[in-house]
Every structure is written in structure tokens, then in C-alpha cells.
Structure 1
């Protein structure tokens, strides 16, 4: 799953990496939480004739996907994640998988290793970041929800997949990572149907991320400083997992 993440890269660096232009300045965010605005990247096509840059733009959406057919969002579950294995066939995500795939840039994400059911130990948070630094792009979906009075809210979710061998000792799910060479194919909803990009929704290589134990300050949304990512000392690391356990839920809030 992915229930908290961070984006601390500068707008200039993000423009270069994602092939977008005209980003407004924005602050580093060390503890992005559900229902908050998140930055996503969409594509409107191949770009102007004669230009080598794709026609991509960034916008803010509410983290918590609301399908267009929902009558009352207050009575609908908060869908912050979508399982990549089933999103193509799920009523909530089917249309977005076909027409509104996005990239969600991040500097990394947080995950919690939970002790066994009867254990008295607290959940241990980890800051999980690309081993070589920089920004990573998660696969995402967006939907614009319209109310009866005509107002609209752009909403989004992050796609997840089974955790790789490096992450599975902490949690059995992880965000889907889209590589830079696959950005255009993932964002191309005009010629690339969901089945054409299914191969992109796989766990990233085992050595892509590194997991750093951090303090439980990240548990509180009000804590937003860079110290959330400082390494913490833990007595016992999570045990190695033989294989990821199945996760039947579409959403998670820790």
C-alpha cells in the first residue's frame, strides 16, 4: 500500500525529469497524507509539431479517488490506493484505467511494519526511498467528480502491486513505479489501452529502494519537517518474508 509519501525535489528538477514546463514554485512536503492535494502529471498528446517535448502538464488533485457515478462522497470509502491486479475490472477504476492514467512524482514513501497480532510492540515506520536518490514516479489514476450544483473536484489514487523481496519483510504491498522510458506509454490513454500497459504494473527491482527506520513522528499528519526522515535505531528488524501475503483490500489508511 501507500498511505504517506514525500515530495521534496525542486520544481526545476521535477520539470526536467518529467518533461513538463511552467510549474509554480512549491514547498518541500515531507508528510503527504490522504485527503490532501497531491501533484500529478497528465498528458494531452504527443506535443506540438516540431517539438521534442511531450504535451504534459501538472495539476493538483485530492488524494482520495471518487468515481464519477458516486452520489455522495461522504458515504463512499476513501480510495487512496488501487490494486493494479484488479483495477482494470473494478467498477470504481475501470474508466480511469482507460482514460485517465497519471504519474504521481515522489521522493519516496513511508511504510509501517506491524508486529504479530498478539505482540505488544508498536508498528515501526520506514522511510523508503530510491537507493540512488532523485524522484520516482508512481502509477496513478484520476477522476473528476461533479456534484449536483455543478462544482467539480479532481481526485486521485496510487496504484499498488505485490511488494518485491526487499520491501516484503516490511509490508506485502508497494506502489507501482513507472520508469522514465515508460512515462509516455503509461500516460498515452489514446492509443494504449489498459491491457497494453499491464506489463508496467510489476514490482520494481529488489535493489531499487532502500528502507530506513524512522521515528513514529511521521504517524502524526501535523509533523511535517525534514527530521521525519532521520534514521532511528530499532532493536529488532522485521523478519525476512518467504513471499508476500495476499491483500484483498482496495484502500488502506494504515
Structure 2
């Protein structure tokens, strides 16, 4: 499962990192991207082979759909090649979703404790995704995407049994160029680090850099905002 993430990477940085061509989208930093919101996604042009960076809506709408339907935000790696919802996009419309971190909630705690996950080496995350273009009744094209998930590695297993597919840089070209589905595997345990974050991330209305603060710092920030009269 991947249901929320932080996308605060400067578009120019993404452009250099992924060698994208064309205009840079006017994307604003978001520390709490939620389903139906738009974010920067890397796609490969099917004719030129060039990589482009575009804003796409999170929640896949298949091109053949007669309405917006259920708009899945995740696709399971185990069934993505056989699912009527995803197999067309897997064959020719793959993408990479760059981000700085994603969030997951511990299913065993009450209330559920949120965690942030990022690369241990400090570089941006590159998640495997699929995209589609759908024409709405008004004649406008809606470009959307979904993030592919797989079984959790040891870093995530104590929190959730699923994790997004994290692509290594050596696999980016292969994934975009319809490489093997064997790329859809759990990341090595050392690739990711995790830390507890505050409960403000639970609401998509909260969107600022402090959402990524470790829970101890988040508590201190909340106390400071409340002021001395709240004691």
C-alpha cells in the first residue's frame, strides 16, 4: 500500500536526474500528496523515446473507461500483467514517480502510528508506476497514474505487508522501455530508512515541511504552536 507521499523535489532537479526533455511543469512542493491530486511524473514518449516530466493525477482512469470509475491509486505487482485494469498500461504506458518520502501507518497500533520512509542514501525515491490518458465528457484529456506495490521487505514488514516498488537508477531505462516485470520486486532492506512522524499527516489538509519531522520534533512543534496558555 502507498496512500500518501511527499513530493517536494525541485522540478529542475528531477529534470537533471532523469534527463527529461521539454518544458518543466509548474509544480509546487507538497508534503502530503493524496489521491486525486496531481504531481510530477516521468514518462517515456512512445515515438521519440525521450523522457518527459508532466503533472498527472493520482488515481488511474483507464483510457477505455466510460466514466471515472474507481481510480485505483495502487496496482499489485503480482497481478498487474493479467489485470484488465492495468495490462494495457503495463505494455506501453509506464512511468516513474519521483518523491522524497512516502508514508505508511502501523496497522497494529490504536490509533495507527504514521511512519515516513525515505532512501537511506539521501537520494530521491523513484517508484514504478503506470499512466493513462482518458477523455472526459467535456472533451478534455485527464492523464492519471497509479503506483505499483509488492510484498514488504523487512524495513516495512513490521508496519505493513505491502510496499511500493522502488526502482534503482540502473533500472530506470529498462522499466520505462517495457523491461521485464521481474523489476517489480521488494527493495533490499538497507535501501530504505523509516521514522515515526506526527499525527498531523493523517489529514491531507495539513501540508508543510514539519510533517516529515521525527515524532519527538513534531510534538515539540505542536507544543510551540499551542503556546504557554495550553499547558
When the two structures are superposed, what TM-score results if normalisation uses the length of structure 1?
Answer: 0.80
Q: Is the 8 A contact 2:128 2:166 kept in 1?
A: yes
Moved over 4 A (4+): none
Q: Is 1:123 matched up with 2:124?
A: no
The superposition leaves residues 125-150 of structure 1 with CA deviations (integer Å, 9 ceiling, x where unpaired) of 00111112121110000111123443
The alpha carbon displacement at 1:28 in A equals 2.1
Alpha-carbon distance in 2 for matches of 1:70, 1:198: 25
Count of residue pairs brought into register by the alignment: 215
Correspondence list, 1:60-71, <5 A: 60-71=55-66
CA, structure 1 residues 115+154, in 2 after alignment: closer, same or farther (shift >3 Å)? same
Q: Is the 8 A contact 2:120 2:193 kept in 1?
A: yes
The alpha carbon displacement at 1:78 in A equals 2.9
The alpha carbon displacement at 1:154 in A equals 0.7
Q: Is the 8 A contact 2:27 2:40 kept in 1?
A: no
Correspondence list, 1:182-201, <5 A: 182-188=171-177, 192=178, 196-201=179-184
Q: Is 1:205 matched up with 2:177?
A: no
CA, structure 1 residues 70+24, in 2 after alignment: closer, same or farther (shift >3 Å)? closer
The alpha carbon displacement at 1:45 in A equals 5.8
Q: Is 1:101 matched up with 2:99?
A: no
RMSD: 1.7
Correspondence list, 1:34-73, <5 A: 34-44=35-45, 55-73=50-68
Q: Is 1:10 matched up with 2:10?
A: yes
Q: Is 1:174 matched up with 2:163?
A: yes
Q: Is 1:89 matched up with 2:77?
A: no
Alpha-carbon distance in 1 for matches of 2:60, 2:134: 9
Alpha-carbon distance in 2 for matches of 1:208, 1:36: 27
Correspondence list, 1:14-25, <5 A: 14-21=14-21, 22-24=23-25
The superposition leaves residues 26-68 of structure 1 with CA deviations (integer Å, 9 ceiling, x where unpaired) of 3321110000012111112696xxxxxx611111111010112
Q: Is the 8 A contact 1:108 1:136 kept in 2?
A: yes
